[in-house]
Amino acid sequence: MFSSATGMSTAERNPALSGKDFTRLSSFIYEHCGIKMPPAKKTMLEARLQKRLRALSMPSFSDYCDYLFSQEGLQNELIMMVDLVTTNKTDFFREPDHFAYLVNAVIPEWQKKTGGRRPLNVWSAGCSTGEEPYTLAMVLSEVAATLDGFSYQIMATDISTRVLEKARKAVYDEDRIDPVPMQMRRKYLLRSKDRANPLVRIAPELRAKVRFNRLNFMDSDFGFREQLDIIFCRNVIIYFDRKTQERLLNKFHGHLRAGGWIFMGHSETLNGLDVPLVQVHPTVYRKLA
């Protein structure tokens, strides 16, 4: 086996994750984040966490587990570990039918019911790097431009501090904005002057409409008391087992106003779950008034 310039072998620099340590880690991730880590994910987990072993100069996963589960590790390492093991895949205008339904069905009914006497309160739960809440802000700003007195506010949360940092910066590679309609690009996106490094940034007036916070769905209390009109929680619960899905959706239900809507991902379903929500559109559910 070839050695590196440091004299360490590849095996020494990339220690293997034993079955025992995988069980320790996967059980902890499930208890803390609600995310199931079946044996098929062992290689993925090993590869992602090897970065932390190198950063901490730890020779084995056993040492890493001992540190992670210590008081110091829970305070200093937990967030780093969560950032590495969570998957964050999102796009602007992902599942565009949802935004059409929001504009054409949800907002007219909400406006009729409330008379626009208060802001529409929206939560992007599992917001990742920000594409979903900024898409919502673009869509709702377009509504506000044509509907007198309409206003909105968006709360966006994720468990990963890494993706929240990127979401707050609101800077994206230019090829990421392909799904954004041209008229919205002109109004809501700023292009970098350096064309050798083509980037865009969300306009400040739109950024001001979105409030980002870290939130772990497994926490007993979400940390806010606001009643929400709409929750976008798309392609998030697929990472949880059915028991966790049911518990989480009932917590969401408790934060929805009567008649409020939950938008789920197209690969997700509430079938078989004991949750008091009724389907009103494909993957859109409503709390009974």
Give the H or E element holding residue 184: helix 182-188
Asked if residue 4 has pLDDT above 60, the reply is no
Domains of the chain and any CATH numbers: 10-85 (1.10.155.10), 97-287 (3.40.50.150)
Indicate the residue type of 7. Answer: G
Asked if residue 160 has pLDDT above 90, the reply is no
Global confidence as pTM: 0.81
The token pair at 62 is 């056993």
- Letter string b/e over residues 190-229, b meaning 16 or more CB atoms within 10 A of that residue's CB: eeeeeeeeeebbbbeebbebbebeebbbbeeebeeeeebb
Indicate the residue type of 32. Answer: H
Mapped onto helix, strand or coil, the DSSP state of residue 24 is: helix
Share of the chain above pLDDT 90, in %: 58
Give the angle subtended at the CA of 202 by the CAs of 198 and 207, to the nearest 5°: 155
Asked if residue 82 has pLDDT above 90, the reply is no
Asked if residue 39 has pLDDT above 60, the reply is yes
Q: Which of 104-113, 185-194, 236-245 has the highest mean pLDDT?
A: 104-113
Q: Which of 44, 68, 59 is nearest to 14 (CA)?
A: 59
Report, as an integer, the average pLDDT of 131-152.
Answer: 96
Handedness of CA 65, 66, 70, 76 (dihedral sign): negative
Average the pLDDT over each of 10-19, 98-107, 166-175, 246-255 and give the range with the smallest value: 10-19
Report, as an integer, the average pLDDT of 115-144.
Answer: 95
User: Which neighbouring-strand residues pair with 23?
Assistant: none
pLDDT for 11 equals 45
Asked if residue 133 has pLDDT above 90, the reply is yes
The full DSSP string for 196-213 is TS-EEEE-HHHHTTEEEE
Report, as an integer, the average pLDDT of 76-105.
Answer: 87
pLDDT for 12 equals 52
Residues 137 and 234: their CA atoms lie apart, in Å, by: 16
Yes or no: say if 121 and 229 are a contact pair by the CB < 8 Å rule.
yes
Distances (CA, A) of 112 to 143, 148, 286: 14, 13, 17
pLDDT for 88 equals 65
pLDDT (tens digit per residue) in 226-281: 899 999 999 888 878 888 899 999 999 999 999 999 999 988 888 889 999 999 99
Select which of 13, 48, 162, 168 is catalytic: 48
Residues 245 and 104: their CA atoms lie apart, in Å, by: 29
Residues 94 and 179: their CA atoms lie apart, in Å, by: 8
Select which of 21, 158, 207, 286 is catalytic: 158
Asked if residue 118 has pLDDT above 90, the reply is yes
48 classed as catalytic: yes
Average the pLDDT over each of 29-33, 94-98, 107-111, 126-130 and give the range with the smallest value: 29-33
pLDDT (tens digit per residue) in 199-231: 999 999 999 999 999 998 888 888 888 899 999
Yes or no: say if 234 and 94 are a contact pair by the CB < 8 Å rule.
yes
* Residue 178: Cβ within 10 Å count: 10
Q: At what angle do helices 61-68 and 42-56 cross, to 10 degrees?
A: 80
Chain mean pLDDT for the chain: 88
